[in-house]
Structure 1
Amino acid sequence: MRNVICSLAAISTFVAPSLAKADSPVQKPNILVFIADDLGWEEIGAYGHPVIKTPNIDWLAQNGIRFDNFYLAASSSSPSRCSILTGMYPSCTGAANLHENMPEHINLFPDRLHDAGYYTMLVGKTHGTNHPKVKARFDYRKFIDWSKPWTMVDLWKEALTQRPKDQPFFMFAASIDPHRPYKQGHFEHPYHPDQVVVPPYLQDSPEMREELADYYDEIGRFDDHIGQVLNLLREEGTLENTLIIVMTDNGRPFPQCKTRVNVQGLKSPFIVYCPSLIKRGSVTKSLASAVDIAPTLLEVAGVKRSPGLQGISLLPILGNPSAEIRKYAFAEHNWHVFRAYERSVIMENYVYIKNWLPHLPNPSVGETMRMPAYKKMLDSYLKGELPQVQQDCFIAPRPAEELYKIPDDIHCVNNLIGEKEKKAIVEEMRLVLDVWQQSIGDSYPGEKKLKGDTSDRRTGEKLKKENTADVAD
């Protein structure tokens, strides 16, 4: 077990060789991060989806690198985004719960880019960055009207057009697609319910198929918006000198996905385009985490690593897809409408989950629960007609621990925690989790000190009026 602890310790000490010094005469690359809202990693053409068309994201993958084992540090929107922007785990950002905003003193990696001469832009969804003094640290800020998601691309193009052309830029392009509500705006080529692929843990009902088709439509719009920005950069002649990332903040907004610290809640599409660094069409199986983004982008920009970063630079992988930088990735699930405290450890072949509240059901997110597809699932469950593989969001008590072998069980439906032959791997991952939590100061405070439910765990109906400044579940 000493080797396990040493491997974990190496996570916080390894720093890749620097790409360029801060005073290097080499032209600094622009940096553009496209982040979707509630996009499942499977629903991208480059990841093999048989139905959804994402030609622009696919082009970036064909000319960049596709990460096949990239995991977020949280399965909920604002904690995940805060983790990305800080390079720290959610419990260290001061905003571990949904709708919490980071404190004004928080260190964001865009601050360091700004100090190094970058023009920084936060455009689209603002979540976790709503503290006025945090938002004000971006050079340019413009936010989406949630009732008009189709206008997202106009904001992105406006931001890029108005920027000073004598500075490199960083833009956090934060879409609200494919977040609910659906059926907003016009879609040139809408998907039909008969086309959708229903995962095994979701009920194959007309209601579910309609919601999935609507979800597909918004993924297509996200891809189209990316394409329009790529065309703008091509016209400017700046595309080749722009590092571009495409990712999501958490899994799809359906039962057993978003807010779960399993594969479908945490795994993100992660595509990086940067012709000067990456051999086109690369694919990596190497494990990577959202906390690794900050140190990577600082290093690419030739900026000194910020104090407090908890990730590892991905630069070795960008240059060599077979390189490995970490053995473990970690994630959290804290309050997101419902009281929660879960942690997970991810390895190349396993996902381990510990739940401190196993006596409670682990439902879907509130807005999903108020939709026809979920209500149909609930009705079937109450009638005893729902297959066991689809019951997970209703059952209680739950397992306190879960172990899934991936990619054999990519949907995390076969819990191996009690199998004798898995005893050694479970003990290893328990120890790794404990050491990691101690290393970042994360400890279970007790159920009474956790933020309480604001919606009913069975129906999703709100129990009291919430602060809707951040609009959505």
Structure 2
Amino acid sequence: MHSSKFSLVLSLTLFSILSACDSKPVELAPPNIVWITSEDNSKHYMDLFDDHGTQTPNIEKLADHGIRFTHAFSNAAVCSAARSTLISGSYGPRLGTHYHRKLEKVPMPEGQEMFPYYLKQAGYHTTNNSKEDYNIFKSDSVWDESSKKATWKTRKPNQPFFHVFNIGTTHEGKLHFTEEDVKAGTKTNPDSTFIFPNHPQTELFKYTNALYLDKIKQMDAEVGQVVDELKKEGLLENTFIFYFGDHGGVLPGSKGYLYESGLHVPLVVYIPSKYENSINLEPNTRSDAFVSFVDFGPTVLNLAGATIPEGIDGKPFLGKDVTKKDLANKNESFSYADRFDEKYDMVRALRKGKYKYIRNYQAFNFDGLMNEYRYKQPGYREWKNLYEAGELNAIQSQFFEPKPVEALYDLEADPYETNNLANKEGYANTLLEMRENLNSRVKNMPDLSFYPEFYLIENAFENPTRFGQRHKTDIQNYIDIANLSLGNFNSVKSKIETSLKSSDPWIRYWALITCSNFGKDAIALKDQIKTMSITDNEAINRVRAAEFLGLIGAESPIKIMTDALYNTEDSSEALLILNSMTLMKECKLKYAFDIDRSRLKNNMLSIKLIKIRVDYLAS
């Protein structure tokens, strides 16, 4: 080559290199984002996440081009509470959105909207097909369309979209089968299935597991149909796809309970090729970062480049300014369970790394307490019948017996939470650390559930977060009384006695619950509590006092509870009273109630949940 030509080529090459260095990176258009949710399935039924699961080829294909999150959690173990967390990006006990089914809807905190609102503000088309089930008042500015016909196809040309597609194939109701269904068999061989160690190892449970694995496969095919539709329209290269379960379930003892089978969900995020450089994780990898439903909305907003509002609890786990170090440090998840339909309880849980801490604030409310919809599933009925017949081992029986006030599990050694380490040698420091962590969370939130639900409906639900802040000190005091259950009775007896005499009815309320947690250990306070069962000016405290006396066999609770039920004009208070009556019917002493329906006020039997309880008590 002549030197002049060589010089020209060299100059052009250098110019090209310099120009490339000076040029700005190509700015990508906002991506599309699709959520595909399947109802009521924890990670335990998919081979992608669990050794005992079935293959899900369509979801696995998404993982081949995306991230498989091995520690994704719903913050609540039931639909409306879980979905309210998803849509708000905040913890339910702070917002008042954590009861299922809602008796009253609540507003979002002042100045905040459900997260799709911020996508719309950024120019997105937002559609939901079709389940909402929020415990929050929804404004018209959240969805462009929310219905069974909602589709991204109604957007304007080149408009980015956020679309939610809900699959009900795996819902709990699919396990309300008949004897004829059992005879028809399943595609999955029942003998090949794995039965959790806390379940009875019976033919019925084999069939139930096999049927559910069939449903998982069917759901996977439906996921594939959604992906194929995106592919046909040439959208895969610029669409993030989140596949996840909307909470755990749905074999007995999962949905509605803060065990891993109720909370630990499958999550795969498909990464479109155009946007691989916009996140700090490579496709076809796994992440062990702990991500929870409070984080999902902020993550979508972050990927979309939209505003993440101040004051929400969640943090993004993908997109701008999220580093691998950030993800490596995410190792905690907080969860909550309260009323589930007509069944009341109050449980909080914290997972950190391999350890799980569960705080049962009303430990005498055993897990298996009658919950009408649960017991439509034949597996539940068989489990209870075997317990009553004395045919279960100690682990299988735990579901129908009073719970520990606190429990600690090593999930690597004990993934099905059967061996409580709370009082075991060598775990004292871990227990204390987890206890203090959870205690700090509920105090600083603050957690509204330390008031009874009926009181919140009457006094707080116009603006729950403001009510919580104004009464934060009171709530912290109630938590301190509740935490007396964690000590030795003799060491806290004088504090309980003082609390039972408090002028604050909710101090007395938690002191009575604490006594019920201690059971017969608190018998020295029997006379004081007997007086309260007659004289306390709060009906629910008279009921709680009678509950303690009934649990220890000191006095029949029937008259006090029944009178309180007849006298209340508040349906939500009646529902809480009926929960105590159901506990009395099912506890060891099996008290029998004869409710005169004509004495119930305000047409209460027109309320489905109340009628369910009254009918059960009469059975």
TM-score range, shorter chain: 0.7 to 0.9
Does 2:420 match 1:415? yes
- Find the counterpart in structure 1 of residue 592 from structure 2: none
Partner of 2:301: 298
Which residue of structure 1 lines up, in the alignment, with residue 152 of structure 2? 160
Amino acid at match of 2:151: A
> What is the Cα deviation at residue 266 of structure 1?
1.1
> Is residue 32 of structure 2 the alignment partner of residue 30 of structure 1?
yes
Equivalent residue runs for 1:247-262 within 5 Å: 247-262=244-259
- Aligned partner of residue 261 in structure 2, secondary structure: helix
Cα drift, residue 68 of structure 1: 1.2
Q: Any conservation in 1 of the 2:125–2:152 contact (CA below 8 Å)? A: no
Structure 2 CA distance, aligned partners of 1:177 and 1:253? 12
2:436 aligns with: 431
- The answer on whether the counterparts of 2:73 and 2:247 sit within 8 Å (CA) in structure 1 is no
2:422 partner letter:
I
- Residue among 357, 361, 364 paired with 2:362: 357
Tell me how far apart the structure 1 counterparts of residues 608 and 64 of structure 2 sit (CA, whole Å).
42
Q: Secondary structure at the match of 2:314?
A: coil
Please, which of 89, 92, 106 is the counterpart of residue 90 of structure 1? Answer: 92
Which shifted more, 292-301 or 48-57? 48-57
The one of the two structures with greater contact order (alpha-carbon pairs below 8 A, sep at least 6) is: 1
Q: Does 1:329 align with 2:333?
A: yes
Supply the distance in 2 between the matched residues of 1:321 and 1:42 (Cα, whole angstroms).
Answer: 28
Which one has a larger percent helix, Structure 1 or Structure 2? 2
The letter of the residue matching 1:326 is K
Q: Which runs of 5+ in 2 are unaligned?
A: 1-25, 452-509, 514-539, 541-571, 587-594, 596-604, 610-619
Counterpart of 1:174 in structure 2 is: 166
1:392 is aligned, of 389, 398, 411, to 398
Give the CA deviation at 1:233: 0.7
State the structure with more CA Rg: 2
Instruction: Tell me if the contact between 1:86 and 1:294 (Cα under 8 Å) persists in the aligned partners.
Output: yes
Aligned to 2:287: 284
In structure 1, the partner of 2:318 is 315
Q: How many residues align?
A: 427
In the alignment, which residue of structure 2 is the partner of 1:78?
80
Query: In terms of mean alpha carbon deviation, does 172-181 or 438-447 score higher?
Result: 438-447
Structure 2 residue identity aligned to 1:287: F
Cα separation, 1, equivalents of 2:267 and 2:80: 18
Which residue, out of 215, 237, 254, partners 2:234? 237
More off after superposition, 119-128 vs 209-218: 209-218
CA contact (8 A) 1:284 1:322 kept: no
Q: Which amino acid in structure 1 is aligned with residue 193 of structure 2?
A: V
Of the structure 1 ranges 85-94 and 441-450, higher mean CA displacement relative to structure 2 is found in: 441-450
TM-score, reference length from structure 1: 0.82
Asked if 1 retains the 8 angstrom alpha-carbon contact of 2:175 and 2:208, the reply is no
Tell me the percent identity: 24
Instruction: Give, in angstroms, the shift of residue 384 of structure 1.
Output: 1.3
User: Matched residues in 1 for 2:116 and 2:48: separation?
Assistant: 29
Distance in 1 (alpha carbons) for counterparts of 2:47 and 2:159: 34
Shift >4 Å, 4+ stretches: 183-189, 316-319, 446-451, 453-459, 463-468
Call closer, same or farther: CA 1:98–1:48 in 2, change over 3 Å: same
| Structure 1 position 162, deviation (Å) | 3.5
- The separation in 1 between residues aligned to 2:433 and 2:125, in whole angstroms, is 44
1:403 aligned partner: 408
Q: Secondary structure at the match of 1:68?
A: strand
- Matched to 1:356, the amino acid is Y
Select between 190-199 and 355-364 the one with higher mean Cα deviation.
190-199
Moved more, 288-297 or 82-91: 288-297
Q: Distance in 1 between matches of 2:75 and 2:291?
A: 10
Task: Report the aligned-residue RMSD.
Answer: 3.0
Q: Output the CA distance in 2 between the equivalents of 1:368 and 1:358.
A: 20
* Match of residue 146 from structure 2: 141
Deviating more after overlay: 69-78 vs 79-88:
69-78
Give the direction of change, closer, same or farther, for the CA distance of 1:195–1:329 in structure 2 (3 Å limit).
same
Task: Give the aligned residue type for 2:152.
Answer: L
- Tell me the SS of whatever aligns to 1:359: coil
Which residue does 2:190 correspond to in 1?
193
* TM-score (normalised: structure 2): 0.64
1:57 deviation in Å? Answer: 0.8
